[in-house]
Structure 1
Amino acid sequence: MEFRHLRCFLALAEELHFGRAAARLAMTQPPLSLNIQQLEASVGAPLFVRNSRGVALTPAGQAFVPRARALLDAAAGAAREAREVAQGVSGQLRVGFAGTVLYRGLPQILRSFAQRHPRLRLVLREMSSSDQLIDLQHGRLEAGFVHTPRVPPGCAQVLVSRQAFVACVPAQHALGRKRHLSPALLAGEPFVAISRAVSPDYHDRLLALCADHGFEPDVRFELRHWLSVVSLVAQGLGVSLVPAALQQAGLPGAAFVPLQGDSPPYETRCLWREGGESAALSAFLEAVRGFAQPAE
């Protein structure tokens, strides 16, 4: 049974006249008759009654009509979906993200992308930067938003945002009332930090920043998520240095104070595997570049 058999069957079932059905299909009557015979042989039952009065559907033919239409519709739908995926009109993308991108960049990118490509589906996965790098290299993610300058071979990148670090202290702490503070004032305070296993770059940057100001931080708590860091500070259990965008989280009990002097920026990059980008990924990267940090 082939699709041409089904098209011939439906044309004849609707016209109930070999001449009209053949003209509709832009063929002559002999090949139409042959296609119907081949289909009936494949089905194993007569689908039409042919007599001097014309053509009529048998009960088997009547039962076959909706199934034949469904088969042709499904085939057309599959072909249409394949074309749309190839063109980047529909499909699915797996995108990883970490840290503060929820507060600086990702929502704006998602809104822009959804407006332009409503039929493209994004599967978002919150993951550490190190886990994203692994999944990108193994093809389990199409793109990822990471907080590391160490881009592995075979990955392309675009800088999405750059932001300053700020001090995060309990709202009732005396340092919370300052307009600016030197990191040196945090010496001797219990520190809350992102785990080094989750974000080795941030962890090393924290230690280096404190070393530049003459002290080693007393890291009491190492956590996996930025919101957990701010939440623990808000409970009065320590202080931290966090990306400025976390002020938007709105957690009560935490105060954010800008730092005096220069400090290394906290950068977010979008990574993807170089070469062979799909149309859907290219469309997503267009939305990313629309928000991305201008090159300096």
Structure 2
Amino acid sequence: MERVELECFLLLAEELHFGRTADRLRLSRARVSQLVQRLERRVGAPLFVRTSRRVALTALGRQLRDDLAPHHRAVGAAVARAAATARGISGVLHVGFSTPLAGEIVMKAAEALRAGHPELGVEICEVPLSDPFGQLRSGAFDVQLTELPIREDDLGEGPTLLTEGRVLAVSSGHPLSAGGKVSLEDLAGVPLLTIAGELPDYRLEQHVPARTPSGRPIRRGPAVTHMQEALMLVAGGKGALLSAAHTATYYARPGVTYLPFEDADPIEYGLVWRARDDTGAVQVFARAALEVAKDAQLAGTTAPTRQTSRATIRSETWRPDTSYGGPRKRP
């Protein structure tokens, strides 16, 4: 028995219309009728009642449909799983995220993958502030969405997936909080909280620059390992925190004011993975993340405003980079 006979029978049993069945199979109506008649000859009895007005299943046709359909679906699923395994798209993909915004993109991408790739599971976990690449190198993560650029010879990175403005978190009692916005030169007047741990120098400079653009030194404040710890110190007047604009939404709290920068470059986010492990699973996740970045409700031209204890954020939060074409390795 040919597979096309079974597929034709099951589609006609679903559509109960020769024309629509022919369209879905990309066959002529005459060919569909021929295939059904061939199957009926094999069975030895009619499977459909045909009139000028309608097509209906006979009792035997319903029995055959009910017996065949689960097995047909199982065969299709088995072939899809085998193809996915051959492309490296199976098992569990462990994905890290460095910020709440990155986490939202990762979570929505994982949800989107469930429909198209049910054979691929996704587990999500936060990237530690003090160890941005350790989980990736150890194999605990397969890929992570994090700030760019990176300068790690053993890691590959994709192009920018989305960008976001920067803010300075200060105590609501600090003089800067009354201005509504800040410049990079203002950093010379307040100690910046730093991150504990063994961060690469370039990574630490991204979070806690040593000097302003004009060369004025920036004092370093206490070292932190967690975001809540940092905000507690900010509220207590122990230092300021250089952060991403979405922090004002996800970490709003009394005593902390978020001030947008008028002259800082935006933060860029992209996917990072082990250079030797650019797998099919990583690639399909990258495509899903791109679609989420383009379609998510957060992808407006301006950020939703949110009142903090003393100020309102009025800057662009983030936008998707629609040129993203999938992972690529660093040259």
- TM-score above 0.5, yes or no: yes
* Alignment pair present for 1:167 and 2:154: no
Residue equivalent to 1:189: 190
Shift in CA distance, 129/153, structure 1 to aligned 2, threshold 3 Å: farther
8 Å CA contact 1:194–1:229 kept in 2: the answer is: no
List per-residue Cα deviations over 1:37-80 (Å, max 9, x = no partner). Answer: xxxxxxxxxxxxxxxxxxxxxxxxxxxxxxxxxxxxxxx9xx78
Aligned residues: 218
**Aligned to 2:161, what secondary structure does the other structure show?**
strand
Shift in CA distance, 120/222, structure 1 to aligned 2, threshold 3 Å: same
Residue equivalent to 1:86: 85
8 Å CA contact 2:129–2:195 kept in 1: the answer is: no
C-alpha separation in 1, matches of 2:148 and 2:257: 26
8 Å CA contact 1:183–1:210 kept in 2: the answer is: no
Could you say which structure has the higher helix fraction? 1
Shift in CA distance, 277/204, structure 1 to aligned 2, threshold 3 Å: closer
Residue equivalent to 2:178: 177
Residue equivalent to 1:126: 126
List per-residue Cα deviations over 1:241-279 (Å, max 9, x = no partner). Answer: 211121121331221111222x23322220234577544
- Residue type of the alignment partner of 1:141: F
Match of 1:293 among 299, 304, 321: 321
Percent of aligned pairs with the same residue? 21
**Structure 1 stretch displaced more, 103-112 or 265-274:** 103-112
8 Å CA contact 1:90–1:119 kept in 2: the answer is: yes
Residue equivalent to 1:249: 250
* Alignment pair present for 1:96 and 2:96: yes
Residue equivalent to 2:112: 112
**Structure 1 stretch displaced more, 200-209 or 240-249:** 200-209
| CA-CA distance at 1:286 after TM superposition | 1.4
8 Å CA contact 2:190–2:218 kept in 1: the answer is: yes
8 Å CA contact 1:103–1:245 kept in 2: the answer is: no
Residue equivalent to 1:267: 268
Structure showing greater radius of gyration is: 1
- Residue type of the alignment partner of 1:242: S
C-alpha separation in 2, matches of 1:106 and 1:259: 27
* Alignment pair present for 1:143 and 2:143: yes
C-alpha separation in 1, matches of 2:137 and 2:191: 37
C-alpha separation in 2, matches of 1:277 and 1:288: 16
C-alpha separation in 2, matches of 1:190 and 1:133: 26
- Residue type of the alignment partner of 1:216: P
Shift in CA distance, 282/213, structure 1 to aligned 2, threshold 3 Å: same
- Which consecutive unaligned segments of at least 5 residues does structure 1 have? 1-75
- Residue type of the alignment partner of 1:284: F
Residue equivalent to 2:39: none
- Residue type of the alignment partner of 1:260: E
Residue equivalent to 1:225: 226
List per-residue Cα deviations over 1:155-178 (Å, max 9, x = no partner). Answer: 242322222221111223332232
- Residue type of the alignment partner of 1:243: A
**Aligned to 1:158, what secondary structure does the other structure show?**
coil
What TM-score do you get using the length of structure 2 for normalisation? 0.54
C-alpha separation in 2, matches of 1:103 and 1:171: 28
- Residue type of the alignment partner of 1:249: Y
**Structure 1 stretch displaced more, 221-230 or 82-91:** 82-91
